[in-house]
Structure 1
Amino acid sequence: MLRLSIGLIVVAVIAAIFGFGGIAAGAAYAAKIVFFIAVALIVLSLIFGGFRKS
């Protein structure tokens, strides 16, 4: 998921360079959502993985 987030950031930067503001804003917003979902899943994995090993 982090790889997808990085890919969307790259798309947003390239779109912004070429002047496609709407596409850049949409890609940046999608990247932010995917990033926070990935962080939430990592935190949940660490929490529940810690419970399982003890």
Structure 2
Amino acid sequence: MKFTLALISLLAAVTIAVPVSRKRGDTLPVMTNGNGEIVPFDSEAVVVT
């Protein structure tokens, strides 16, 4: 009885722990300008200080 309960508890914990992944349609980074419009990401324009 204890073994069955432990097994069910383990399976429930694994089921809850499985991450839910949502596939994104876009994989390109997106930036917005001051007006909130989406502009393409330009990695060469990034300034790191």
Indicate whether the TM-score tops 0.5: no
TM superposition score normalised by structure 1: 0.37
TM superposition score normalised by structure 2: 0.40
Larger Rg: 2
Normalized per residue, the structure richer in helix is 1
Normalized per residue, the structure richer in strand is 2
